[in-house]
Amino acid sequence: MTALSPTLLQDATDIPVMVGFSGGLDSTVLLHLLANAPGRRPGSLRAVHVHHGLQAVADHWQHHCSALCAQWNIPLQVVQVEVPRDSGHGLEAAARDARHAAFKTHLQQGEWLALAHHQDDQAETFLLRALRGAGVDGLGAMQAQRSFGSSTLWKPLLQVPRSALETYASQHRLHWIEDPSNDSADFDRNFLRLQVLPLLRQRWPHASAAMARSAGLAAQAAALLHENDAALLQQGLDPSGALQVAALRLLAPAQQSRLLRLWVNQRGLPALPANGVLAIQQQLLASGHDQQAEFRWQQARIVRWREQLHALPLTKAWPKGWTRQWDGSAPAELPDGGKLLLHGASAFDQPVQLRQRQGGERIQLTGRSHSHQLKHRLQQSDVPPWLRAQLPLLCDGDTVLAAADRVISAPLQAWLQAHGAALEWQPPDPVN
């Protein structure tokens, strides 16, 4: 059995596959292997070429890929992307993110994405992450299969050395293109590939295979830890997805760290930085019973409220002094992206003023002889603190009629009941 035995591809024999096809050696070999795989159904294989526009020869690469796919009778889709040069993560990472976004957009239902990463790539990833101080999860490097959006990302060549790909390409007289940027040691990964790994192989010829094997062992350990983390996290969550402070306090600091990272990941937020975990442990978990504390990073935050931690995306701020008149005949579009609607009546008898809370407002409630501070009424309600500033106030001059649909004054409540009407506040969507 050779390193490129057809059995490498048996996991997806009956599954439609979209190959990320750059035109380089690795993806050319993978596409050729899949095109000639025994048992693959006609029409179940296609390729996607992402045109980054970062190289002067990018158009030539596209033409090469188109000609080769036409020769092999494989449908090819070319997707042009814009790669931001000021993302803060480096051009290499920005290009990868743009590629993956394009792949997710163009994957069809039930289709797998196949990429041609090999054993040498795995060794580079392992070493790069080790140099960045990664833990066992990061050292697990790349996986042969993992979820990718609603589909699966498949890397069938992950145990195959690049030398085997070169041998295969030579035997089958394949033609591929060379990316000149691969010869530049300015990029970290290229520096490892061009200078560090060749030096390591002089002393340890099987260095790449050994590091790839270590990555596999780290991945196994991480999977076992993740299974335990998921069980503990499920025990600590309430139905809304908030994390119980008491449950976290029962765990050792290392376990707290793992649960916090898993929880944030499941909430679809950016990865927690190392200082974030420490801040949560030292500040949020140690806060007093009635104290609201939070940690912010990127476009996200974790807030402690009512003995729970809440992981939240940030929302857009209101412009200072924003106000508008609203008669209720159409939904009111709020500056943070939220909406206010009047149901059951065509409009108010006269328009009301919409504005944001400024502090010090009072409101007259049904059955009460005196007004109450709106702040106190909201504190007694189930409206979380991070949403209170987003509540639109309905006012008649200086008189507060309602705070969205959460606290409603006696006069407005009487009007709504008389007209069989109701208010509905739709909170803003998260910041993208």
Q: Specify the amino acid at residue 183.
A: D
Distance CA 83, CA 100 (A): 12
Distance CA 145, CA 186 (A): 30
Which DSSP state fits 399? E
What element of type H or E holds 352?
A: strand 352-356
Distance CA 412, CA 422 (A): 10
Among positive and negative, which fits the CA dihedral 63, 67, 72, 78?
Answer: positive
Q: Which residues lie closer than 8 Å to 130 by C-beta, 6 or more apart?
A: 139
188 assigned binding-site residue: no
27 assigned binding-site residue: yes
25 assigned binding-site residue: yes
Distance CA 425, CA 415 (A): 18
Cα dihedral value 290, 291, 292, 293, nearest 10: -150
23 assigned binding-site residue: yes
Distances (CA, A) of 386 to 12, 34, 202, 282, 315: 47, 52, 58, 21, 9
* Residue 123 · residue 207 · CB < 8 Å: yes
Beta-strand ranges (E) seen in 21-160 are 45-51, 76-80, 112-114, 145-148, 151-154
Cα 99 versus chain centre, distance: 15
Residue numbers in the known binding site are 22-27
Residue numbers in the known binding site for ATP are 22-27
